[in-house]
Structure 1
């Protein structure tokens, strides 16, 4: 399929050649979750300005750009993955960036139900800077939130959930394993009845206790690749594939 010109990044933004992102050892994307239902799945195999949901349930992701930001598609196995523009330097006058955004999908509001969300990604430390938001629905101190991010002094992935209301406690499961070696890694965040667990390449890499009463339901869109277009320094500059959300 011919890739639309609008989706081709300039050579200056070339971060992740297909030949440099090598596959991680085969491992399950997440733990066995029983009778869960996939409510959204984005594979990025079709190079287009709108990313349709492969599960048949979720809403499409649309690309929002600023300062001339553009994505590009890289080969991954027999399919494709999506690479974001390289992160701009702090206080850059021009900062090309792209955010993928869906609509307010009620299927992505799990309430107090068990659910899992995750992504396969490849990145370097430069691609995340001090912090990058990979997946997010909702914001803290509002209607509740679930999020996957990479950051902190050790630049490790972590899963975050928070209930509704200003000052609501945030529960953060931090991974003990890093992923910024420019190889493909699958990261999943699993909320059970009592815990939030972060899985990296099929291995439990950290958890935190979460009360069963913490519910997440908001009217905000799913965002992939950044918190929003204004928050330049949360933009992710690596590549992603297989964004999956399941409930149950």
Structure 2
């Protein structure tokens, strides 16, 4: 084999190997995570395992309770929450975006509470839009994305206050908003447009005063 042909084969092999690395499922999956709080922590912070450094700070939470896997955080006293400082990676912008979490509770939101804010970034009046995942008075899950193109919202699925673990995922694409509860999905057609604000992420409450505060246990919160 002449040297030029050998060099061509070596180069082709290197390109193929590089492509295999880029296409590795583990690498691709990791690249899609914007934030991942496993709630295994026992101190005053919640580590972000996505590599983006979005560490949360705990307020009045019980750590180390039994989780869906491993440990989790429990909300009971008021105010209780996890707050995560604003970062561009936590905003949907114009991209597809999803928020997933595991929840366990028995007490429905009272009339004084209104609903449980499981996670949110921004309020309905926040400039630049907002997004949130809630439990409404009926015990059902709610998804809301509000951007430059308007608001997409869904409340669907079973009552979740049975003391069992449930997985809720809220997702939006360029043309629809989808709510998935324990593997069953519902969608509404809506282009919500750009969502980008300077608010912190609040987990388990609407604000640091404890409005719309959750009562129960949360685990494995992932933004992707």
Shorter-chain TM band: 0.7 to 0.9
| CA deviation after TM superposition for structure 1 residue 75, in Å | 1.8
Number of residue pairs aligned between Structure 1 and Structure 2? 192
Structure 1 residues 1-248: aligned runs within 5 Å: 37-64=32-59, 69-76=60-67, 79-85=70-76, 96-126=78-108, 128-129=109-110, 130-141=114-125, 142-152=127-137, 154-164=138-148, 169-204=150-185, 206-211=186-191, 214-232=193-211, 234-246=212-224
| Distance in 1 of aligned mates of 2:105 and 2:196 | 30
Q: Call closer, same or farther: CA 1:63–1:158 in 2, change over 3 Å.
A: same
* Aligned-partner Cα distance in 1 for 2:210–2:96: 30
Partner SS state of residue 124, structure 2: coil
Say which structure is richer in helix: 2
Query: Would the aligned equivalents of 1:70 and 1:97 in 2 still touch at CA under 8 Å?
Result: no
Q: 1:78 to 1:176 in 2, by over 3 A?
A: closer
What secondary structure sits across from 1:125 in the alignment?
Answer: coil
1:145 Cα shift?
Answer: 0.4
TM-score, L = length of structure 1: 0.72
Q: Which has the larger radius of gyration?
A: 2
SS at match of 2:34: strand
Residues 35 and 50, structure 2, Cα contact 8 Å, conserved in 1: yes
Q: Distance in 1 between matches of 2:104 and 2:140?
A: 13
SS of the equivalent of 1:107 reads: helix
Cα distance per residue 1:158-213 (max 9 Å; x no partner): 1001115xxx8432111222211110001000112211000011211x222111x6
Q: Please, what TM-score do these two structures have when normalized by structure 2?
A: 0.79
Aligned mates of 2:93, 2:107 — CA distance in 1? 34
SS of corresponding position for 1:160: strand
User: What secondary structure sits across from 1:97 in the alignment?
Assistant: coil
> Is the 2:79–2:210 Cα contact (8 Å) retained in structure 1?
no
Question: SS at the partner of 1:217?
Answer: coil
CA RMSD of aligned residues (A): 2.0
1:231 Cα deviation after fit: 4.7
Q: Deviations over 1:14-73 (max 9, x none)?
A: xxxxxxxxxxxxxxxxxxxx9771010000112111111011114100023xxxx44243
